[in-house]
Amino acid sequence: MQRRYVSIWFPHLITDWFSNRQPYLRDLPFVICAPSHGRMMITAANQAVMKNGITRGMVLADARAILPSLEVLDDKPGLPDKLLLRIAEWCIRFTPGAAADPPDGLLLDVTGCSHLWGGDHRYVEEIGRKLRERGYSIRIAIADTIGAAWAVARFGNSSPVVKTAQHVEALLDLPPEALRLEEPTVERLHKLGLDRISKFIHIPRATLRRRFGNHFLMRLDTACGHETEVLHFVQPIVPYYERLPCLEPIATATGIAIALERLLNALCARLQQDQKGLRTAVFSGYRSDGKVEKLQIETNSPTYSVKHLFRLFENKLPSIEPALGIELFVLEAPKVEDHFPVQEKLWETSGNLDDIRLAELIDRLSVKLGPQTIHRYLPDEHYWPERSYKPAGSLQELTTATWKDDGQRPLQLLPVPERIEVTAPIPDYPPMLFRFHDKVHKVIRADGPERIEQEWWLQQGQHRDYYRVEDEAGNRYWLFRSGHYSDKAHQWFIHGFFP
Partner 1 sequence: MKKAAIISELQREILLLQGFKPANSLVVDKGLGPLKAAFPNASFPLGAVHEFISTDAESMAATSGFMSGLLSILMGKDGILIWISTSRKLFPPALRSFGLFPDRIIFIDAQREKDVIWAMDEALKCGVLTAVVGEIKEIDFTVSRRLQLAVEQSKVTGFILRHNPRALNTTACVSRWRIRPIPSEAIDDLPGIGLPQWKVELLRIRNGQPGIWSIKWMDGKFVSGREWSERSLENTGSAIQKKAG
What character string, x for contact with partner 1 (CB under 8 A) and - otherwise, covers 285-324?
----------------------------------------
Considering beta carbons, is residue 375 or 488 the nearer one to partner 1?
A: 375
Considering beta carbons, is residue 241 or 389 the nearer one to partner 1?
A: 389
Q: Are strands 71-74 and 105-109 parallel, antiparallel or unpaired?
A: unpaired
Considering beta carbons, is residue 341 or 370 the nearer one to partner 1?
A: 370
Q: Which stretch binds partner 1 (CB under 8 A): 1-9, 58-66, 326-334, 346-354?
A: 346-354
Q: Residue 463: which of 424, 412, 497, 428 has the closest Cα? A: 428
CB of 446 to partner 1, least distance (A): 7
Q: Contact, 470 vs 446, CB < 8 A? A: yes
CB of 222 to partner 1, least distance (A): 56
Considering only residues 67, 73, 246, 362, which one is a binding residue for partner 1 as defined by CB under 8 A? 362
Nearest-angstrom CA–CA distance, 499 and 493: 18
Positions 394 through 453 that interact with partner 1 (CB under 8 A): 395, 398, 403-407, 409-415, 444-447
Count other C-beta atoms under 10 Å from residue 460's C-beta.
Answer: 8
Q: Residue 103: which of 172, 57, 156, 39 has the closest Cα? A: 57
Q: Residue 99: which of 2, 219, 239, 5 has the closest Cα? A: 5
Nearest-angstrom CA–CA distance, 167 and 229: 15
Q: Which stretch binds partner 1 (CB under 8 A): 96-104, 187-195, 467-475, 479-487?
A: 467-475
CB of 451 to partner 1, least distance (A): 16
Map residue 34 onto helix, strand or coil. strand
DSSP assignment of 274-303 equals: TTEEEEEEEEEEEETTS-EEEEEEEEEEEE
Q: Are strands 30-36 and 71-74 parallel, antiparallel or unpaired?
A: parallel
Considering only residues 357, 435, 442, 451, which one is a binding residue for partner 1 as defined by CB under 8 A? 357
Considering only residues 22, 164, 352, 423, which one is a binding residue for partner 1 as defined by CB under 8 A? 352
Q: Which stretch binds partner 1 (CB under 8 A): 72-80, 110-118, 135-143, 354-362?
A: 354-362
Map residue 326 onto helix, strand or coil. strand
Positions 471 through 490 that interact with partner 1 (CB under 8 A): 472-477
Considering only residues 97, 277, 385, 417, which one is a binding residue for partner 1 as defined by CB under 8 A? 385
Nearest-angstrom CA–CA distance, 330 and 314: 16
Considering only residues 25, 113, 257, 392, which one is a binding residue for partner 1 as defined by CB under 8 A? 392
CB of 387 to partner 1, least distance (A): 10
Check binding of 173 to partner 1 (CB under 8 A).
no
- Phi first, then psi: give them for residue 118, nearest 5 degrees: 85, 40
What character string, x for contact with partner 1 (CB under 8 A) and - otherwise, covers 235-264?
------------------------------
Check binding of 393 to partner 1 (CB under 8 A).
no
Considering beta carbons, is residue 33 or 469 the nearer one to partner 1?
A: 469
Q: Residue 315: which of 329, 297, 338, 332 has the closest Cα? A: 297
Check binding of 383 to partner 1 (CB under 8 A).
no
Determine the size of the site formed for partner 1 (CB under 8 A): 57
Q: Residue 255 belongs to what H/E stretch?
A: helix 253-273
Burial class (CB in 10 A: 0-12, 13-18, 19+), 411: exposed
Considering beta carbons, is residue 286 or 492 the nearer one to partner 1?
A: 492
Q: Which stretch binds partner 1 (CB under 8 A): 193-201, 227-235, 321-329, 462-470?
A: 462-470
Considering only residues 22, 89, 275, 377, which one is a binding residue for partner 1 as defined by CB under 8 A? 377
Considering beta carbons, is residue 243 or 387 the nearer one to partner 1?
A: 387
Considering only residues 375, 438, 456, 488, which one is a binding residue for partner 1 as defined by CB under 8 A? 375
Check binding of 456 to partner 1 (CB under 8 A).
no
**∠ Cα 321 327 329 (to 5°):** 80
Check binding of 26 to partner 1 (CB under 8 A).
no
In our burial notation (b when 16+ CB lie closer than 10 A, e otherwise), range 175-206 reads bbbbbbbeeebbebbeeeebebbeebbeeeee
Considering beta carbons, is residue 133 or 406 the nearer one to partner 1?
A: 406
CB of 419 to partner 1, least distance (A): 16
Alpha helices in 13-78 (DSSP H): 13-21, 47-50, 60-66
Check binding of 154 to partner 1 (CB under 8 A).
no
Check binding of 371 to partner 1 (CB under 8 A).
no
Considering only residues 378, 432, 433, 452, which one is a binding residue for partner 1 as defined by CB under 8 A? 378
Considering only residues 111, 288, 305, 388, which one is a binding residue for partner 1 as defined by CB under 8 A? 388
Q: Would you say the C-alpha torsion 213, 216, 220, 225 has a positive or negative sign?
A: positive
Check binding of 374 to partner 1 (CB under 8 A).
yes
- Residue 254 per-residue DSSP state: H
Name, in order, each residue with C-beta under 8 angstroms of 49's C-beta and a sequence gap of 6 or more: 29, 30, 31, 63, 67, 70
Name, in order, each residue with C-beta under 8 angstroms of 157's C-beta and a sequence gap of 6 or more: none
User: Which parts of this chain interact with partner 1 (CB under 8 A)?
Assistant: 348, 350-353, 355, 357-358, 360-362, 364-365, 368-369, 373-379, 385, 388-389, 392, 395, 398, 403-407, 409-415, 444-447, 468-470, 472-477, 496-499
